[in-house]
Amino acid sequence: MSVRGIPVARIAAQAGAAAALVLDVQTLLNLRLIHDLSADAREQVGERVSILIPMRNEASRLRPCVEAVLGQEGVEDLEIVILDDGSTDGTSTAIRAIVGSDSRVKLIESPDEMPPVGWYGKPWACHRLGEAATGSTLVFIDADVVLAPRAVAQATSLMREIGVELVSPYPRQEAGTWLERLTQPMVNWSWIATLPMVLARGRRPRWSAAIGQFLVVDAAAYRASGGHEAVAGHVVEDVQVVRALKRQGYRGLPVIGGQVAYCRMYTGAADTVDGYTKSLWSVFGSAPRALGAAAAMLLIYVVPPAAMIGSRDPVARRWGAIGYSAGVLGRVAAGRRTRERVWPDALAMPGSAGAFAALTIASMVRHRRGSLTWKGRAIT
């Protein structure tokens, strides 16, 4: 099959390779502009900082997170607020066993009930934490995140130093099983490769990225922009918090936090599939955009290596090799900076892109069927 005498395989391989090269250039430019939190920093923070942790059925894995929070250094006035959001596995008991009589910790126990109409569970939990907090800086972290001793001090200091109202340090994504190793490196790679940092530094909401695993925000700006109440109906609430801030004239930036935080989001293939399908349907804003994103991932990172291996056209094979190499190069550049595993995982970039495209489509299908749940609650 050809178009005006040019094989379709060649056209597709050229288009995919060209796009991969463009994203590589953007990745390298972004890496020169992105702030990176360092494990060696020794900042001291004099203001009151509130660390806020929503938990639901986390008894089996909360210890590393809580112990790391209790061990934070460089913050003179630290408040820790933990919300047990209707857990049925003894989460509150596990928390008490770790924190003991530490006066910095406030544990809020909530009954196991559905969020109010118009709210998803995570925004509702974070909203309640924000209302209970008294710090001038709010630090939201997830229960599967483990912080280095000065992570909070450094992130807070960076936010104040560069004059923005929010920073979101992306943790190093830990991966164990094969599907985790395919998907988890894409969390950091995706924003580093696709978000133009020159534009993200401004106040336009469209150019935003953040991760709810580790979100540091000025309390006054958070409340002035509506906080999590402004994003109550969003499954992926983290990016929407930044956009709400920007709509009020504030600024927020993603930063690299691989040296000061790590997270293992999911454990095993089933957990990974359920975790991603619960939210990917909403990331792109609409079904056509989600399908377009899935198609773009396949064109840019799957078609070129497929042409490299399977095409009879030597030109298509050469362009395929260029595209495959560009995909691997981008993964290597991002992975080295974020302190994630690079080799041999980066060689599987076509598999990573294919997995994310498949998860995006599966997420849309499950959402349309009304079969999405997370931690025992339906997602509609």
Give tens-digit pLDDT for 109-122: 999 888 999 999 99
Contacts of 375 (CB under 8 A, 6+ apart): 56, 57, 121
* Cα–Cα distance measured from residue 233 to residue 123, given in angstroms and rounded to the nearest whole number: 8
126 contacts 140 by C-beta, under 8 angstroms? yes
* Omega before residue 344 within 30° of 0, cis: yes
Q: Provide DSSP, 7-33.
A: EHHHHHHHHHHHHHHHHHHHHHHHHHH
Instruction: Enter the tokens of residue 237.
Output: 């609430």
pLDDT band of residue 6 (cuts 50, 70, 90) is low
pLDDT band of residue 331 (cuts 50, 70, 90) is very high
Instruction: Indicate the residue type of 178.
Output: W
Task: Spell out where 144-260 has E strands.
Answer: 145-147, 166-170, 172-173, 214-218, 252-256
Instruction: Enter the tokens of residue 379.
Output: 């997602």
Q: Is 157 exposed, middle or buried (0-12, 13-18, 19+ CB in 10 A)?
A: buried
pLDDT of 254 > 80? The answer is: yes
Q: Which region holds residue 188: left if phi is over 0, alpha if psi is between -120 and 50, else beta?
A: alpha
Q: What radius of gyration do the chain's Cα atoms show? A: 21
The reported pLDDT for the residue numbered 279 is: 87
Quote the pTM value. Answer: 0.94
The reported pLDDT for the residue numbered 137 is: 98
169 contacts 261 by C-beta, under 8 angstroms? yes
The reported pLDDT for the residue numbered 8 is: 81
Higher local confidence (pLDDT), 265 or 5: 265
Residue 277: which of 263, 288, 266, 289 has the closest Cα? Answer: 266
Residues in the chain: 380
Residue tagged 């989600």 (tokens): 290
DSSP three-state, residue 37? coil
The reported pLDDT for the residue numbered 42 is: 84
341 phi, psi to nearest 5 deg? -60, 130
236 contacts 120 by C-beta, under 8 angstroms? no
- Percent of all residues in the chain with a pLDDT value above 70, rounded to a whole number: 98
Provide CATH 3.90.550.10 ranges for the chain: 34-265
pLDDT of 4 > 60? The answer is: no
* Cα–Cα distance measured from residue 169 to residue 162, given in angstroms and rounded to the nearest whole number: 14
Contacts of 281 (CB under 8 A, 6+ apart): 235, 287, 290, 360, 363, 364, 366, 367, 372
Q: Is 64 exposed, middle or buried (0-12, 13-18, 19+ CB in 10 A)?
A: middle
Q: Provide DSSP, 227-275.
A: GGGGGTT-SSHHHHHHHHHHHTT--EEEEE-TTTEEE----SHHHHHHH
**CATH (residue range 34-265):** 3.90.550.10
pLDDT of 16 > 80? The answer is: yes
Report the helix count and the strand count for the chain, using DSSP H and E. Answer: 16, 14
